[in-house]
Structure 1
Amino acid sequence: MNRASKAETALDSIRRDICIHASDGETVLHETELSRRFGMSRTPIRQILQRLAYERLVQTRSGVGTVVTPLLEQDRLRDLRSYKGIIDAILRHDLPALSVSQHADILALEGFARSMQPDDPELQYELLTRLHAGLAQLVEDPVLADAFSASFWRAVRWYMRDLAADPGRATERLKGQIADITGYADRRAADLFARVRDNTRG
């Protein structure tokens, strides 16, 4: 495994842990422990933490270090409105039609969603990861794509919190959202993004 793919794997793993397992308490991420866990030097670990800080999943606290950003209810509306605003910006651009393969990947999400159980946050997170992968590759502007990804993971973290609080309700809501999203007009990226935006609460 090369350095880039190793770093990406570590980033994905830490992000997953934060979204699924991090409580609203103060969770400290120690560079030394992360370096040991992923078999990497502290420099790429530091770069990963910088990326997570850009996504507002972690923050630096004086005298403490890097901590998981607490989810404060007063920030929910701001985060979700920002996410929807970025999708609005994406919709102002000419979007490519989905390829047959991309279209098939999006349609497959509905079957994936039907298999979800309320007590399986890992599977739900995997579904959202696949949705992100399908959407991100359609945004050709690299700056906008980066902003979309950062805001997407904040929205995912809010969803995972809702899932922990009320698994049944959150799961049924996500199933309904995925069913609507995958009903987008054949291969039209603009309709796909519009449905993602309209299915985002906030």
Structure 2
Amino acid sequence: MSKHNADSIAEALRKRICLEPPTASPVLHEQSLAEEFAVSRTPVRQALQRLAYERLVEVRSGVGTMVSPLKLENRDDDIDLAFSLLRVAARLEGDKPLSVEARAYIVALERQVAAAEVLDIETNYTIRATALMAISREMSNDILADALKAALWRLFRWRMDEAAKSRSGKDNRLPEVMEMMAEATRKGTVRALLEAQLPPDTPS
């Protein structure tokens, strides 16, 4: 009996997509994925529907489901959009208190990043994905949370591509971001956690 379901398949495919070059757009075949994960096509289809909702994949007529390619000429716009939505989310969420669970997650992730001798791309993905899910659960506006997740997945794909292409193979931005997020947990509000992800010179 397979240990996979729609949730675990979606997570495996998210990771796969984020570790690919962001301009790549391979086709995802339901039958091949069903065989890979040893499941029927139903949970695969459910997983792909979730990824489509997050704008990580798209369905093209005559082609099928494929990874949504990011365009180099849109890179700056993708990053600006993510920061703009962070600012909007911070304003709307206001001083809603962070849950104890979210604080613990963020602090633990920051410690993991600080202790890592080598912050490889897979670790980068795990940290970012876990932080994103913890943050989205804290947001009270579901529509905004979904839009922010989609924008941040794009931002993360660009950031991980930068790290993969760097001489060190490390993501130098992530330790700084996680340190600011851990500091924000001391303020204890969703607004602070969202604003912590903005560049220092970006007005909130």
TM surpasses 0.5: yes
Matching residue of 2:129: 129
Deviations 1:80-123 (A, max 9, x none): 22222222232223452123332222122221112335562111
Matching residue of 2:57: 58
Q: Does structure 2 retain, via aligned residues, the 8 Å contact 1:95–1:139? A: no
Residue 196 (str. 1) matches residue 197 (str. 2): yes
Deviations 1:148-190 (A, max 9, x none): 2222212111111111111637522221222122222421221
Secondary structure in structure 1 of the residue aligned to 2:96: coil
- Measured in 2, the distance between the counterparts of 1:54 and 1:200 equals 31
Secondary structure in structure 2 of the residue aligned to 1:171: coil
User: What are structure 1's unaligned runs of at least 5 residues?
Assistant: none
Residue 153 (str. 1) matches residue 146 (str. 2): no
State the TM-score, normalized to the length of structure 1: 0.84
Q: Does structure 2 retain, via aligned residues, the 8 Å contact 1:80–1:200? A: no
Matching residue of 1:114: 114
State the TM-score, normalized to the length of structure 2: 0.83
- Measured in 1, the distance between the counterparts of 2:52 and 2:5 equals 19
Secondary structure in structure 2 of the residue aligned to 1:160: helix
After superposition, the Cα gap between the structure-2 partners of 1:39 and 1:77, relative to the gap in structure 1 and judged at 3 Å, is same
Range that drifts further, 139-148 or 23-32? 23-32
Q: Does structure 1 retain, via aligned residues, the 8 Å contact 2:120–2:170? A: no
Matching residue of 1:183: 183
Q: Percent identity?
A: 31
Count of residue pairs brought into register by the alignment: 200
Q: CA RMSD in A?
A: 2.8
- Measured in 2, the distance between the counterparts of 1:125 and 1:187 equals 25
Deviations 1:119-147 (A, max 9, x none): 62111111112211221111012222222
Q: Does structure 2 retain, via aligned residues, the 8 Å contact 1:95–1:138? A: no
Q: In the TM superposition, what is the alpha-carbon distance from 1:18 to its structure 2 partner? A: 0.7
- Measured in 2, the distance between the counterparts of 1:78 and 1:54 equals 20
After superposition, the Cα gap between the structure-2 partners of 1:135 and 1:200, relative to the gap in structure 1 and judged at 3 Å, is farther
After superposition, the Cα gap between the structure-2 partners of 1:197 and 1:6, relative to the gap in structure 1 and judged at 3 Å, is same
- Measured in 2, the distance between the counterparts of 1:23 and 1:84 equals 19
- Measured in 1, the distance between the counterparts of 2:193 and 2:88 equals 14
